[in-house]
Structure 1
């Protein structure tokens, strides 16, 4: 069975257009002539390994996509993809657990590039307790859990606003990455019932978009921050992000502080 790959020139042209760059703009950034870039895109010239990496850097491509460009040009990939449970990732796992544990009693979750749940702290149960168990079977998807009719969606007071915010984030990610898996996920989520605000879904008279979750006759008012690893050289590491939930008001903060986790009850 023969596996065919897209020509390197076609891939370079497609990524340049996705980044909304002209040949002139990219050639200036890459410090090459427009003529040379044109020859690369049309297949009249073959890029060197260093040229592939240089153009990939100027196009701000993910490490996974840089490997694909190298393969298309006939070169070996340079970026590894190490499983998170492998021995070389021991320090990374330790750092993740430290961040997750240190964020208690507020929820925090680690997801991969496709928004699949990789890890979480115990306080995430304040949200996942409201979700149908089948949606939490690995690989659980954080966006599906949020917007599915059997997930958090029925408990989110500002579902229109939150849905619009999440779909806007995902749409931008699809546009930037060109990832077909993410495109399929976006199509699935847009098919779920529920409203959607237009644009970014920014809260009126606010500074962040909160998610307001009704639980036990109370409304938890939360906002999130996202953290990634700096200067990663491994694909797995580059695609991990930690999303941390913070209380947006003192009532929510007090409610989360008073909620004892299983480990705290047995301590």
Structure 2
């Protein structure tokens, strides 16, 4: 029979996940290690403020902080609104502005599972030849990139990309404790063969993404942007990945494509415009 986890068990799990001893956490949080021990064993019920204090020092995601609070008998502290909620209007506009402002280069906003929330029109260059089943909502960018039915066959350095993305996904799954991310990692790991180490070439400034498209090779590097100090779970879990041209040829191609309207205006991805 399933048993709900106690707050002490959950707290101990997060402490182990962060590879901290009770003394380590006590020093970081400026509390006694005896208090940490009593909370974890159930001898002491922490106050709401203390629980949030410990969760902050353990870098617990906002949705999991709510779970800690509920396990201790408190009301959740953080709301989870849809991105289109009026209360998130300014944040929604900010994400749209980032995507729009990055054109003619690709950019996409994803949730904690790498499902696409919004994308700009330049992201359509990644959709050529993709199995329509992968474009059924929710569209997952990790799956789209590493599944053989996605744009993986068009990546010139697929092994290198896999060798970078899979450990990154594994770290994210470990940091958040999210079982869906762990399942996604195991699925994507099963698709590959031997991966190349993500070593730098003579002209690389970051790990490149080399994509065959329309008879040419496009080369990108990426940045990830997140909201700072979010108090809403949705905002806390949004990441915007912007792809920048890694060479003049890629930049010129995308600018010409946009000027000549070669980039499709419709998309199977949720549009941010």
Q: TM-score, normalised by structure 1?
A: 0.93
CA contact (8 A) 2:124 2:264 kept: no
Q: Determine whether 1:208 maps to 2:206.
A: yes
Classify the secondary structure of the residue corresponding to 1:213. strand
CA contact (8 A) 2:15 2:58 kept: yes
Match of 2:255 among 234, 254, 257: 257
Matched with 2:218 is: 220
CA contact (8 A) 2:106 2:243 kept: yes
Instruction: Number of aligned residue pairs: give it.
Output: 260
5 Å matches for 1:2-81? 4-81=3-80
Q: CA separation in 2, counterparts of 1:123 and 1:229?
A: 23
Q: CA separation in 2, counterparts of 1:174 and 1:3?
A: 23
CA contact (8 A) 1:165 1:202 kept: no
Classify the secondary structure of the residue corresponding to 1:66. helix
CA-CA distance at 1:3 after TM superposition: 7.5
Q: Determine whether 1:191 maps to 2:186.
A: no
Classify the secondary structure of the residue corresponding to 2:80. coil
1:196-247, Cα deviation, whole Å (9 max, x unpaired):
235xx34354431111001122110111000011111000011001000000
Unpaired segments of 5 or more residues in structure 1? Answer: none
Matched with 2:240 is: 242
Q: CA separation in 2, counterparts of 1:155 and 1:68?
A: 42
Classify the secondary structure of the residue corresponding to 1:259. helix
Classify the secondary structure of the residue corresponding to 2:105. coil
Q: CA separation in 2, counterparts of 1:237 and 1:172?
A: 20
Q: Determine whether 1:100 maps to 2:111.
A: no
Q: CA separation in 2, counterparts of 1:134 and 1:60?
A: 36
Alpha-carbon RMSD: 1.5
CA contact (8 A) 2:69 2:75 kept: yes
Q: Determine whether 1:135 maps to 2:140.
A: no
Q: Determine whether 1:114 maps to 2:113.
A: yes
Q: TM-score, normalised by structure 2?
A: 0.91
Unpaired segments of 5 or more residues in structure 2? Answer: 266-273
Query: Residues 165 and 48 of structure 1: is their aligned pair in 2 closer, same or farther, counting only changes over 3 Å?
Result: same
Match of 2:227 among 226, 229, 246: 229
1:166-208, Cα deviation, whole Å (9 max, x unpaired):
101101101111110100000000111343235xx34354431
Q: CA separation in 2, counterparts of 1:76 and 1:3?
A: 22
Matched with 1:170 is: 169
1:133-173, Cα deviation, whole Å (9 max, x unpaired):
22111101000000111101100000000011110110110
Classify the secondary structure of the residue corresponding to 1:227. strand
Q: CA separation in 1, counterparts of 2:145 and 2:107?
A: 14
Query: Residues 262 and 144 of structure 1: is their aligned pair in 2 closer, same or farther, counting only changes over 3 Å?
Result: closer
CA contact (8 A) 1:163 1:195 kept: no
